[in-house]
Structure 1
Amino acid sequence: MFPEAVYTKNETLEKDKQTTAPILTKENTENVKIVVLPRLIYIILPKNTEDIAYIRGIQYSRWHKTNYCWVVPNFGQNLENLKNYFGERISSLEEIQTETIAINQKNYDRAKNELLAVRTPNNRLKISVDYHKEVVRKLKQFPYLKYDQKTKTWSIPYNEKYVSDLRNIAETEKQKFKYIEEPSDKQQPIKSIIPKTKACPEEYLQKLLELRYSESTYKTYKHAFVEFINYYPDQTLEEISEELIINYIRYLVKDRKISISVQNTTINAIKFYYEKVLGGKRTFYHLDRPRTEKTLPEVLNLEQTKALLKNTKNLKHKAILMTIYSAGLRIGEAINLKVKDIDSERMQIRIEQAKGKKDRYTLLATKTLEILREYVQEYKPKKWLFEGQKGEQYSTTSIQAIFRQSKDLTGIMKNATVHTLRHSFATHLLESGTDLRYIQALLGHSSSKTTEIYTHITTKGFDQIKSPIDYFDF
């Protein structure tokens, strides 16, 4: 940020959300003021035809309409030339050691001589660094390296090893290193910008209930369908053609920039009305559905998991996270647990009507049972195993907040969520030699292919596998 000392008392300084440049009133100043960032130079000066002509002569110079100042690139001899040209007319010259880098429409501060690496939700590493010949040479050794001319950033696929490699490059070339993980934007709800004049048809809602769709699907489909019918406020549902449906989906993708999962959910919500409610035949819309991005789930290793649980001091909070991890639960399954679902004799936890309307049993760990007994004795839950202050069902947002707090206290840099505990449970079982079929049953997966993803995460035991070629006698 710019220090206020650069400006006189008569000038108004505000903060622009999109830039670190100063916002000034149109009131002229007597002297020239220059603010230098690692990549840009801001020039605040009175209106003068000769001065403006000189600045216009600098390549890539531009007038900043919002901040009422000129901006020129900070490279080559631009700064020295400006100093020589304005000379004693320069009343202040402030050099800022940090600049704001825009990545995925978010701003990050990067200091001079610092390598900034940002892990984006689509599992790529965006890299911003001052031009350094040796650093650039080493970056070009990474596979699938891309350069964005607009944002002046490099990008490579995310890999935990690549983060370590970037840190080593920074240290070797005497650069500071900063690593940031952006939160995942998967399954973000569609932000409503369409005026709502039509309600969701009652027969649509009744059919969802009749077919016993989950509460989550009920809300998602209802929201998506209301958005759809209000996009065409002057047409009845009977008048909305296949072409209009396709145009609406294209609008969501192009203008609203929805995720792949939201796009597929919206298509399913629309198809539900025409196929299930109206009883029509299955319809194929001539619109390519994008493939879901295949990424490996994030997992914590045993030491990280142990440290995270150890740093969860509150008894109720620890009981919640230990139960989720030790039983491989989804967050929704955890809040739906009742006291009666804990079977201490058989050392099992009963999960009722989980995803796919299925019941199952999973593990009740000895250490988890000990914590749960302490918790029940102190908090005395009545119906739900984990209750709020008024005896209501515990909320998912509260559990997410608990996890984030413990994660921050532990210093875990991975883009982990509560669901990471479930992935870690499965991975740790696999690494300890548990058969994949048992893991599938404990997690409640319908298909073994879903469970097989954990075989791509663990590499334990690879050093003990011998390639067949090593048995050849050449």
Structure 2
Amino acid sequence: MSYRVTLQNIIHKNAPQAALIFDYNEGLKAIVNQFKASKWSRTHTCFYVSNNKVTCNELYVYLRKHKVFVDYSNLKIASEAPAPPVKIIPSVAEQKLIQSFKNFLEGRQYSRSTVATYMNLAAPFINYMKEQPIGGATEDDVRLYIEKSVKEKNYSISSHRQLVSALKLLLTLHKNQQELKDLVRPKKSTYRPVVLNHKEVILLLQRTLNLKHRCLLALLYSCGLRVSEVLALQPSDIDLERMQLHVRNAKGRKDRYVGIASSVLPLLHNYRNSYPTRAYLFEGATGKSYSASSVRAFLKRSCKAAKITKHVTPHTLRHSYATHLVENGTGIAHVQRLLGHSKPETTMLYTHIANADLIAIENPLDIAVNKNRLADKDNKNIGLSEDH
């Protein structure tokens, strides 16, 4: 068999799933991605299918058909649907604590999504403490709760980090944060994001036939925007005279300006003449902002039409924009400002992805072969085998 996939049990979205674990390979990734029931989990960073007998059997037959060896020795097929999660109804006292925590976060001007995330993470801890005052929670209480939650809910590294941050903020309302100085967040996972090459970017845009969709993707890439940023754009944010795009209230409550590519102008003019909008540059059917789920859906169709087998998300276009800037010689400080990063360390990731200089480095094996050929000028066919 050319490839190998191991199936493992995981819980995702409160349901048993079968994770597909394999060493990274573009060919195998394309095979897995084309299976009709496979989905990608950002939480677990793997492909998965529903853990039931029918789906797992179809997956096994499909993979074997593509000459993939399947190791299912550790997989246990779920015999029945999982019990629905127990809904916790907070007491009056707990509701007051949750509301005060919300007021505290909003007072610090955290974004709505961050407030919602931290509240959802803090509420179970408040229930866990029950009648014991939050201010009386010791570092051991918090650590034991985190260990229990991470194990039971199978948190990813990023969710684990968010949980620690949420609890630290909750406890600052009731005690000195210095007492929790030893409660540290796990280190971020080091990963290399997927990046499209220049040819793939152009092909992706060419294969996106819908004018609105093509214009949205073009701005995502050419301006290095987050999907939330492009969906929040208003017509007044476009300054054609200065060839700039005003990104308002982005991550970290920061505004920034990015340049508009001249090659996007005809597409942008055509789109605005065809789709006159009011509140948002990209509006849905009801006049509200276009949804991120819709963007992901048509992006997936465009990738399929362009025959791009990489796992591409809207953020992939932002990664590609930054990587191409670095490869073209743009300084890290400028890339940091264009992306709206708070720390240069975040932007430094792209120096490790950019490979223009690495590609130019001659492989030492080629150097050795060429030196050998120069040493034996009578034999021009010196290679890696003795017979030629």
Q: Is TM (by shorter chain) over 0.5? A: yes
- Which one of the candidate residues 185, 193, 200 is aligned to 1:289? 185
The answer to whether the aligner puts 1:312 opposite 2:217 as a matched pair is no
The answer to whether the aligner puts 1:183 opposite 2:53 as a matched pair is no
Quote how far apart the aligned CAs of 1:409 are: 2.3
Equivalent residue of 1:461, what SS? helix
CA distance in 1, matches of 2:327, 2:6: 41
Equivalent residue of 2:338, what SS? helix
Equivalent residue of 2:7, what SS? strand
Q: Which runs of 5+ in 2 are unaligned?
A: 11-16, 46-83, 368-388
Q: Is the 8 A contact 1:196 1:230 kept in 2?
A: no
- Residues 353-384 of structure 1: per-residue CA shift (max 9 Å, x gap): 21121111112112322222211111211121
The answer to whether the aligner puts 1:252 opposite 2:149 as a matched pair is yes
The answer to whether the aligner puts 1:102 opposite 2:21 as a matched pair is no
CA distance in 1, matches of 2:245, 2:327: 23
Quote how far apart the aligned CAs of 1:249 are: 0.6
- Structure 1 216/465 Cα, relative in aligned 2: closer, same or farther at 3 Å? same
Q: Which residue of 2 aligns with 1:263?
A: 160
Q: Is the 8 A contact 1:246 1:285 kept in 2?
A: no
- Structure 1 376/440 Cα, relative in aligned 2: closer, same or farther at 3 Å? same
The answer to whether the aligner puts 1:218 opposite 2:75 as a matched pair is no
- Which one of the candidate residues 196, 206, 224 is aligned to 2:89? 196
Q: Which residue of 2 aligns with 1:328?
A: 224
Q: Which residue of 1 aligns with 2:306?
A: 410
Q: Which residue of 1 aligns with 2:57?
A: none
- Residues 403-446 of structure 1: per-residue CA shift (max 9 Å, x gap): 12212222322222110000001112222233333222211122
CA distance in 2, matches of 1:334, 1:404: 18
- Residues 307-330 of structure 1: per-residue CA shift (max 9 Å, x gap): 111111111111111111110001
Instruction: Give the number of the structure whose residues are more often helix, by fraction.
Output: 2
Does 405-414 or 374-383 show the bigger shift?
A: 405-414
Q: Is the 8 A contact 1:299 1:423 kept in 2?
A: yes
- Structure 1 306/202 Cα, relative in aligned 2: closer, same or farther at 3 Å? same
- Structure 1 250/464 Cα, relative in aligned 2: closer, same or farther at 3 Å? closer
- Which one of the candidate residues 237, 254, 274 is aligned to 2:171? 274
Q: Is the 8 A contact 2:134 2:174 kept in 1?
A: no
- Residues 331-353 of structure 1: per-residue CA shift (max 9 Å, x gap): 11111111111010111101112
Q: Which residue of 2 aligns with 1:393?
A: 289
Quote how far apart the aligned CAs of 1:458 are: 2.0
| Structure of greater Rg | 1
Alignment-mate amino acid for residue 389 of structure 1: A
Alignment-mate amino acid for residue 230 of structure 2: A
Q: Is the 8 A contact 2:280 2:289 kept in 1?
A: yes
Q: Which residue of 2 aligns with 1:366?
A: 262
Query: What aligned pairs does 1:63-74 form with structure 2 within 5 A after superposition?
Result: none
- Structure 1 445/192 Cα, relative in aligned 2: closer, same or farther at 3 Å? farther
- Structure 1 202/163 Cα, relative in aligned 2: closer, same or farther at 3 Å? closer
Equivalent residue of 1:361, what SS? strand
Alignment-mate amino acid for residue 458 of structure 1: A
Instruction: Give the number of the structure whose residues are more often strand, by fraction.
Output: 1
Q: Is the 8 A contact 2:223 2:321 kept in 1?
A: yes
Q: Is the 8 A contact 2:26 2:309 kept in 1?
A: no
- Residues 41-62 of structure 1: per-residue CA shift (max 9 Å, x gap): xxxxxxxxxxxxxxxxxxxxxx
- Residues 29-86 of structure 1: per-residue CA shift (max 9 Å, x gap): xxxxxxxxxxxxxxxxxxxxxxxxxxxxxxxxxxxxxxxxxxxxxxxxxxxxxxxxxx
CA distance in 2, matches of 1:269, 1:450: 22
CA distance in 2, matches of 1:261, 1:463: 32
Alignment-mate amino acid for residue 40 of structure 2: P
CA distance in 2, matches of 1:397, 1:312: 17
CA distance in 1, matches of 2:345, 2:227: 22
- Structure 1 376/163 Cα, relative in aligned 2: closer, same or farther at 3 Å? closer
Alignment-mate amino acid for residue 203 of structure 2: A
Q: Is the 8 A contact 1:386 1:394 kept in 2?
A: yes
Q: What TM-score do you get using the length of structure 1 for normalisation? A: 0.59
- Structure 1 413/283 Cα, relative in aligned 2: closer, same or farther at 3 Å? farther
Q: Over aligned residue pairs, what C-alpha RMSD do you find?
A: 3.1
Q: Which runs of 5+ in 1 are unaligned?
A: 1-99, 109-117, 121-125, 127-155, 168-176
Query: What aligned pairs does 1:119-138 form with structure 2 within 5 A after superposition?
Result: 120=21, 126=22
Q: Which residue of 2 aligns with 1:377?
A: 273
Q: What TM-score do you get using the length of structure 2 for normalisation? A: 0.71
- Residues 242-272 of structure 1: per-residue CA shift (max 9 Å, x gap): 3322221111122221111111111111111
The answer to whether the aligner puts 1:448 opposite 2:353 as a matched pair is no
- Residues 82-108 of structure 1: per-residue CA shift (max 9 Å, x gap): xxxxxxxxxxxxxxxxxx963454559
The answer to whether the aligner puts 1:339 opposite 2:235 as a matched pair is yes
